[in-house]
Structure 1
């Protein structure tokens, strides 16, 4: 037994003389009830065919000789103090059960549980093949047993609180909490520990000998581990080790440490972040992504990262995440880079400072029923994603727009209901470097009011459906350039105004088949910015002066719509493959009217003579437009179509046909201006789209058809194109896009979401047609993960050559221009991306395309990845172009040991300005 169990010598709590006397009484009287100071202290419980009693000293009294039971229900041994208040042998209730037998030995004071034995005591749970409880020494022994083939089974599982140990055998003392364990297996966070021999001093300190520390899921045969001769282990806090050697596939490597420290806390812990060395063609040698992580609390953290280059360039980043359950969560990123190119004094010397601020905040729906706060901010230098030397994200660099929004909204549950919101928005064009901001935007609205609706709530007819509401919008809008962002001039150019609108509308049925909607809108604009124009004789030009002060104008308009839905079915017979085609048409005729508001217009001289005058309105360039001078009256026509087929389904067991969508939409729209004296008919716009191949191919097309001809200069003339020797319509533009995504899983619904979160947050594509952004801060992230994939799925037992998971995305786009007889293709390209799993945990992917207009290959990216279970190896390569880049990484996947890695990369050469 000593070879299986660990023994800890403990102080005996009772004298042996007392037990000798008690044993003599037991042998003479057999079953006896004993009293101490006239207080009954017999404790009895039944288990199968036996009754077990404990006297005041804790000795067990059995009423028969049966030593085997098949009762698997847990029994309880309860110790109570007598009137002398002697300290009990055990401090609580002991529950135990066993499948084969439970044997009590009065001589050794031991209780033996065999086969599927379980023991529960205070916060301790113990399961093993065999358990021996020594209630005199307060010790428990647990170990394995052999099955019919002689193999060890039912290894002990020791659990105390949240700590779980799975050894070959264990010896534990309830009083001192000390233990000796052989071949213990325990998991702390992401770390798995297998120790040849373990000694537990108390609840918080363990000493291990010849321990293997790894993040591999296979603890007994890990692909790598750290062999530590001596270890001090504090659960959920740390591991302090002596001489440590890295083993890969049980082969020792030259990598070792004289001592080591592994954090084991389940909570976030502050610590240093080791930088990554490398070399850049423009900035020289560098250290990137080094810094310090601050675990500030359970609700938020902060990481400060920095880069340094030998030519003087540097970068600084602040990253913070915060969350509170059922309240809110968010993330804040601030990036700053000071990039230097060449050497000072040389002609190609340049210096560029770039920054980027990102903030995302979302409120839980349970936090507040009637109010909500949200934020999505992405602003900074227009060239940041194109010139950053610590970012390889082509999807973000190709995006031409940065936008932000911070908003607070509240609903007042009154009658009628009132909605209120306050927001700040930002929109930035990275090509023109023009920024539009609203600081802030105020919106308020009163819910619709039906003044003529009956009390029963049923609204039918023209009068009963009359309704109106009130809307208010106020803005403080700023238009500035990237170079003037947050400078005094930016705020001096701000424009402020308010818009009040009261829409009135109603709807009713006409002849039971036509739906009629009429509406009128009253609009009032208040502004603090107007203009005044005059001709300056001294400067010989027109002067436009900004006027500060309150001013207002009022407008109104009217519109009506008449529409219906027409259904048509073409039957071909149930014996046909295509049994029927259904055509749905939705024609609509609209009329709009707006009077002329000439009273808001003035005149000014456009030359020094003062004889030539021109009209203008002082409200031009306002936030909410200007009153119209031209009388408007127009009729519009639109027609939407959809086509659906009923097809015989040969695979159906019920015999019912299936529906197939032939054309989702085919729309035609145009307008006729009743007030125009020429060119009254607007170009005809035709658009449509459909889904093919089990809704995997998305096809969209559109074209513009102009009925009027053009002269030699390209100007539209008052003559129909057919009367000018041409066709009925002149096609001025057209475009078509086709997107097709399919995979080896027969067009599953997983969807390709390879695009990194950073690309999507910056407004880029969700797929990987323009490649996948590399996270240089943490290359452990997989390049191929998709939603719905099971990372733990093991396919090693399959014949892999019969199942090669793959996916392929195609995007085709073509545009045609003929506005001025160009008759040319504006753009024509085919983009594609794909991924294939060549073997288990071995994946290859690509993103590329071809531009038929420019006759060249578009952006190309090649991706290789090898999943080594606990390790990850990847190679990302952009072979040519302005964004050429390559990067190699191999390292441990676990975040705990993320610094154990080797990576090499060549960043794109940036041109700073």
Structure 2
């Protein structure tokens, strides 16, 4: 590519263009003597003139020094004959014609005054200055004004020669035409032009050669250049030469082709267009057009426009090497017939490939421009600028095969040192290799050595780990490198070092290292070590280690290990020793334990607490597992031993969810405890209040299979009641069990089907709103009382038929009928295997009416009031066979009621009534529209018993129940529940709950409450233990100094008021719960909560906490009161390292 462009275009500076000019000039000169006026007199003389007569009439015989003068033309010969009748003269014997500077000679000549045709024959010679034309004959047709030379026509001057079979000159059209085997030769330039036809226009001064024109030029070294095309054209006026058609240029091994070649002699410029292409065995140049510029005899510049491509291939016998550059345009600079530089502009792209030591490599790069430097006819350096990027492909050995690797890179400027296989990236450099990413101001990539060197704030990412420094070296082959003045971050910490060296795939050696979690340039604290070894995503080992606060050394250790493993991982939990004094337990040790991450799906945590005063040991166990879409669960247990009393206590809880197959699920839950006081007295305040006071333990298991329209469930349920007292004289329920439980349900399905289209009549369409449902359940209940057990077993099947239709577009009618079949193992009379069959019916009616009011009062734009009255009549006939009369004369049911199985034998006839009101509003405040969809709901309901006298009731109406729910704004709501006796209107019960929350301030919101414990199911990481501190991770920028306060500090508060009573006011209770949080400054936060008994006028419990954000440190103080128990707690710690702290106070458990 870089050795031959000069040779390709060397023929453009040869002298064949003057050759065409000479041909045209001599053709004109050859016929110049024919330009004479009509009727010009002529004179004939000779040594001997004889008049004779013959068959052709009178004629004049001329002998000796025959001379004929016709205007400026003089013809001489040895002999001649002039025929008077035909007015024709013939000359013979050394015929010579002279006209000005033009001399013509022939063996014979004739001229007819009648036809005005002059003919020269045999050995025709025409001379004009240094030009000589020869031929077998010549003819001039005066009337047509055409001159013709035929028979091996030759034109010769001092250095040039033109040959043709025939030359025609038309004086009227000023066209000179050479025909048949036209050959033009220039001896000075060793150039020859051949063709079948040539035309020269004297007016336009344009010469055209057609019919397979061909140019052959030979240089001084004997090398020939051949140009062929379909037409060659030369303009003498503009001094431009063109070759058209299928142009082909060949010089030794070099070839070029195009559709048009243009040579501008005055500008020393040549242009090839029409799919131009130039090539030889070492390369190729293509584009939409090629343009060459010369300086004297040397080509200086080659320009390629439009889809430009320049290809270089190493000569045969040398190491394989290929270079291809592409762009919108290319400029090639030459000097001393050698390519020196190549410039590529616009969408520039370079592809270079080579083979070294049997390993192929390939570099592809692009940019806005490329500057290619050439030495010894080979590319040596490529410079890319403007949005540059590239990919380097190389091969590495893997066993007996080669694996292709890629390095991607980009920068503002790229230099590719081709011979050295060196890539230099300058300005915002970025390089990517496998899982490695390097960013710096400058990067040098030695592809042969597979090494990197970066400077200018280099940053290296590898396996999602980041390292920065001042200078960096790295080996891609060994995956090792060195960072000088480096800085990196793993998990929550920053690591710096005078020298950080990668010595293994995931191992770093650090000299003069520092570690901190503070991101400030001058950190509030740091650890310093002369030697560090970092095991990525595992741990950091430092020897020795000194803790500095600011620049003051605080603590020194011979060595220390920092865990940096992300996510869940096994490890010892850091124990808390000597935390302070508890009012009841004294000093204590807690959370001494171990966390075991079994795998990605399960983990186990075990820890221990010790309290000095009792003394008491408490061990804890927690296991968790989760396999996505299949199973999940947890198991928690604790065991306590009081050494002084010799007592032991324990509890066990667990949950398991398992998907056994498609729509087949197993669920299990268990809760067991040794005694009712264990969780309240032993586990302490760290356990939630609900968990500590709970006295009902429930365990259950169920297996459920679902189909598209049915469901089958097998279950076991057990509930234990811990608050029973065997000494109170009441036969209390101790335990309730339901075993086993089996239920099968068919979902409601419409009996009919509505038509789906014009041609579909449906199926019983008049029953399309009628639905049939069925269910069946098998129960076995065991109730354990202080006095003994009660056991019942039964099965119930229920069939239901219901409908819902709308009348007059607003009234909805809903009739229904239900049949229930019950089977019992025995009735209350002791009869075994008894059954009951019951049916009942119902009819409901309801409607919804609404009205919109547009009051336009203030911001109130509209109110929507909807009213929904509902009536429901139900009836069941009397089934006396399912009852009996006891010893007191009271009729009772023969069958027990348990679970969902019961038999109601008596007749029932009742009417339920309700009236539901909903108020909604729309407000417009400035340009904002506010919708209050739940502004006010009021629901009033009661029922009427038609058989109230049979049921021993004094009046038919039940209590009138009223519920009111008000929510005018999003942070306030109030709910009121009332029940009134229908006759006297006396209130029987009342319940009111109101909630208000407020918040304000412009600062950044933080966590409302500090953490007091780990959430259920949350993860436990090594170093933090099973119990959590109260402190949150705050945000701030200062250590030991307050930030400037503002006039709008973030704050929040909430109040909940509860009131309830029965018919007697003495049963009323009043409770008020309040909580608040306030940021005193950016780093100070105070929180308070209290539970207040308004009736007794005393605070039942309250908590106060003060939190301080110390940037990378934090501190909290808390005081809590609950009944006669109190606790205080203080802790200051590094946020990222909970194990580095100072703590005083009482235990949280």
TM bucket (normalised to shorter chain) is 0.7 to 0.9
Match of 2:680 in 1: 386
Superposed CA offset, 1:17-38 (max 9, x none): xxxxxxxxxxxxxx996557x4
Match of 1:730 in 2: 986
SS at match of 1:99: strand
Superposed CA offset, 1:106-153 (max 9, x none): 6x8855332222334455432211223345654322111xxxxxxxxx
Q: 1:682 aligns with which of 952, 958, 965?
A: 958
Q: 1:114 aligns with which of 407, 426, 438?
A: 426
Question: Structure 1's 865 and 779: CA in aligned 2 closer, same or farther, altered over 3 A?
Answer: farther
CA distance, structure 1, for counterparts of residue 312 and residue 1144 of structure 2: 82
The reply to whether residue 258 of structure 1 matches residue 562 of structure 2 is no
Q: What is the correspondence of 1:197-208 to structure 2 with a 5 Å cutoff?
A: 197-208=499-510
Q: 2:1146 aligns with which of 881, 906, 911?
A: 906
Q: 1:162 aligns with which of 464, 479, 487?
A: 464
CA distance, structure 1, for counterparts of residue 597 and residue 1148 of structure 2: 34
Match of 1:242 in 2: 543
Deviation at 1:330, TM superposition (A): 3.8
Deviation at 1:357, TM superposition (A): 0.8
- How many residues in Structure 1 have an aligned counterpart in Structure 2? 774
Q: 2:926 aligns with which of 651, 659, 662?
A: 651
CA distance, structure 2, for counterparts of residue 625 and residue 883 of structure 1: 47
Q: 1:597 aligns with which of 860, 879, 887?
A: 879
Q: 1:673 aligns with which of 924, 945, 954?
A: 945
Question: Structure 1's 526 and 167: CA in aligned 2 closer, same or farther, altered over 3 A?
Answer: farther
Question: Structure 1's 282 and 72: CA in aligned 2 closer, same or farther, altered over 3 A?
Answer: same
Moved over 6 A (4+): 50-53, 57-61, 64-67, 85-88, 457-462, 745-762, 791-799
Match of 1:418 in 2: 710
The reply to whether residue 743 of structure 1 matches residue 999 of structure 2 is yes
The reply to whether residue 466 of structure 1 matches residue 770 of structure 2 is yes
CA distance, structure 1, for counterparts of residue 935 and residue 312 of structure 2: 94
Question: Structure 1's 883 and 814: CA in aligned 2 closer, same or farther, altered over 3 A?
Answer: same
Match of 1:835 in 2: 1077
Match of 1:777 in 2: 1026
CA distance, structure 1, for counterparts of residue 859 and residue 409 of structure 2: 71
Match of 2:843 in 1: 560
CA distance, structure 2, for counterparts of residue 121 and residue 509 of structure 1: 72
Question: Structure 1's 842 and 499: CA in aligned 2 closer, same or farther, altered over 3 A?
Answer: farther
Bigger Cα displacement from structure 2, 430-439 vs 520-529: 430-439
CA distance, structure 2, for counterparts of residue 761 and residue 179 of structure 1: 42
Deviation at 1:701, TM superposition (A): 0.6
Question: Structure 1's 435 and 870: CA in aligned 2 closer, same or farther, altered over 3 A?
Answer: farther
Question: Structure 1's 291 and 497: CA in aligned 2 closer, same or farther, altered over 3 A?
Answer: farther
Bigger Cα displacement from structure 2, 66-75 vs 584-593: 66-75
Superposed CA offset, 1:534-568 (max 9, x none): xxxxxxxxxxxxx6964432222222211111223
Superposed CA offset, 1:156-189 (max 9, x none): 1123343432122112233443322212222333
Question: Structure 1's 397 and 407: CA in aligned 2 closer, same or farther, altered over 3 A?
Answer: same
Gaps of 5+ in 2: 1-310, 328-342, 345-349, 364-371, 725-732, 1019-1023
Question: Structure 1's 127 and 47: CA in aligned 2 closer, same or farther, altered over 3 A?
Answer: farther
Superposed CA offset, 1:201-244 (max 9, x none): 2323321112122334x174433322222112222233222111
CA distance, structure 1, for counterparts of residue 632 and residue 872 of structure 2: 47
The reply to whether residue 707 of structure 1 matches residue 707 of structure 2 is no
The reply to whether residue 293 of structure 1 matches residue 595 of structure 2 is yes
Match of 1:180 in 2: 482
Superposed CA offset, 1:771-815 (max 9, x none): xxxx993325656x9xxxxx7798999964144222111101112
Contact 1:53–1:62 (CA<8 Å) still a contact in 2? no
Contact 1:500–1:524 (CA<8 Å) still a contact in 2? yes
CA distance, structure 2, for counterparts of residue 844 and residue 331 of structure 1: 36
Q: 2:865 aligns with which of 580, 583, 590?
A: 583
SS at match of 2:497: strand
Question: Structure 1's 362 and 209: CA in aligned 2 closer, same or farther, altered over 3 A?
Answer: farther
The reply to whether residue 632 of structure 1 matches residue 908 of structure 2 is yes
Superposed CA offset, 1:415-462 (max 9, x none): xx2122334445565655955444453332112233344564979997
Contact 2:1036–2:1083 (CA<8 Å) still a contact in 1? no
Match of 2:323 in 1: 44
Contact 1:497–1:623 (CA<8 Å) still a contact in 2? no
Question: Structure 1's 232 and 101: CA in aligned 2 closer, same or farther, altered over 3 A?
Answer: same
Contact 1:395–1:759 (CA<8 Å) still a contact in 2? no
CA distance, structure 2, for counterparts of residue 258 and residue 811 of structure 1: 56
Deviation at 1:200, TM superposition (A): 2.2
CA distance, structure 2, for counterparts of residue 118 and residue 569 of structure 1: 66
Question: Structure 1's 614 and 583: CA in aligned 2 closer, same or farther, altered over 3 A?
Answer: closer
SS at match of 1:386: helix
The reply to whether residue 126 of structure 1 matches residue 438 of structure 2 is yes
Deviation at 1:522, TM superposition (A): 1.4
CA distance, structure 1, for counterparts of residue 396 and residue 564 of structure 2: 42
The reply to whether residue 275 of structure 1 matches residue 555 of structure 2 is no
The reply to whether residue 805 of structure 1 matches residue 1050 of structure 2 is yes
Match of 1:70 in 2: 385
CA distance, structure 2, for counterparts of residue 425 and residue 459 of structure 1: 44
Q: What is the correspondence of 1:262-341 to structure 2 with a 5 Å cutoff?
A: 262-266=562-566, 268-278=568-578, 279-310=581-612, 311-338=614-641
* Larger fraction in strand: 2
Q: What is the correspondence of 1:143-162 to structure 2 with a 5 Å cutoff?
A: 143-144=455-456, 155-162=457-464
CA distance, structure 2, for counterparts of residue 580 and residue 902 of structure 1: 61
Q: What is the correspondence of 1:453-532 to structure 2 with a 5 Å cutoff?
A: 453-454=753-754, 456=756, 463-480=767-784, 495-528=792-825, 530-532=827-829
Question: Structure 1's 244 and 480: CA in aligned 2 closer, same or farther, altered over 3 A?
Answer: farther
The reply to whether residue 196 of structure 1 matches residue 498 of structure 2 is yes
The reply to whether residue 98 of structure 1 matches residue 411 of structure 2 is yes
SS at match of 1:582: strand
Question: Structure 1's 752 and 173: CA in aligned 2 closer, same or farther, altered over 3 A?
Answer: closer
The reply to whether residue 814 of structure 1 matches residue 1115 of structure 2 is no
Contact 2:1010–2:1030 (CA<8 Å) still a contact in 1? no
Contact 1:333–1:359 (CA<8 Å) still a contact in 2? no
Question: Rg larger in 1 or in 2?
Answer: 2
Match of 1:8 in 2: none
SS at match of 1:680: coil
CA distance, structure 2, for counterparts of residue 869 and residue 835 of structure 1: 20
Deviation at 1:332, TM superposition (A): 2.9
Deviation at 1:745, TM superposition (A): 6.5
Gaps of 5+ in 1: 1-30, 145-154, 345-349, 533-546, 606-611, 709-720, 722-728, 763-774, 786-790
SS at match of 1:201: strand
Contact 1:462–1:508 (CA<8 Å) still a contact in 2? no
Superposed CA offset, 1:853-890 (max 9, x none): 11112311112223334433222321352442222233
Deviation at 1:358, TM superposition (A): 3.9
CA distance, structure 1, for counterparts of residue 715 and residue 1038 of structure 2: 51
> Relative contact order (C-alpha < 8 Å, sep 6+): which is higher?
1
Contact 1:639–1:668 (CA<8 Å) still a contact in 2? yes
SS at match of 2:384: coil
Match of 2:190 in 1: none
CA distance, structure 1, for counterparts of residue 1029 and residue 914 of structure 2: 54
CA RMSD of aligned residues (A): 4.3
